[in-house]
Amino acid sequence: MTVFRVANWTLTIVTALFELIAIYFIAELLNSHCVRGGEYGVSLWFLAYFLPGITLHTVFLAIYRIFCSSLGLDPIVLHNI
């Protein structure tokens, strides 16, 4: 396993964890007085709508990277036959 693959896997896992933490904090903000009072909320609802799908994609990518050696994104190496 190359350094690039390890770095890619590590950053994918970290990104997935940060996105899960962001979903938790957005859910907490949706219960705040400002959002319930209608002072603001459009940007939070936008994030609450789109971020779970993005996070799910990142989590699946991280799981796939754990169990598979390549995603097909590695450069093509041509060997002399």
Q: pLDDT tens, 12-68?
A: 889 999 999 999 998 888 888 888 787 776 778 888 889 999 999 988 888 888 787
Q: How many CB atoms lie within 10 A of CB 55?
A: 19
Total-model pTM: 0.72
Boundaries of every domain in the chain:
3-67
Residue 70 has a pLDDT of 64
Helix (H) or strand (E) holding 57, with range, is helix 42-67
Distance CA 74, CA 65 (A): 12
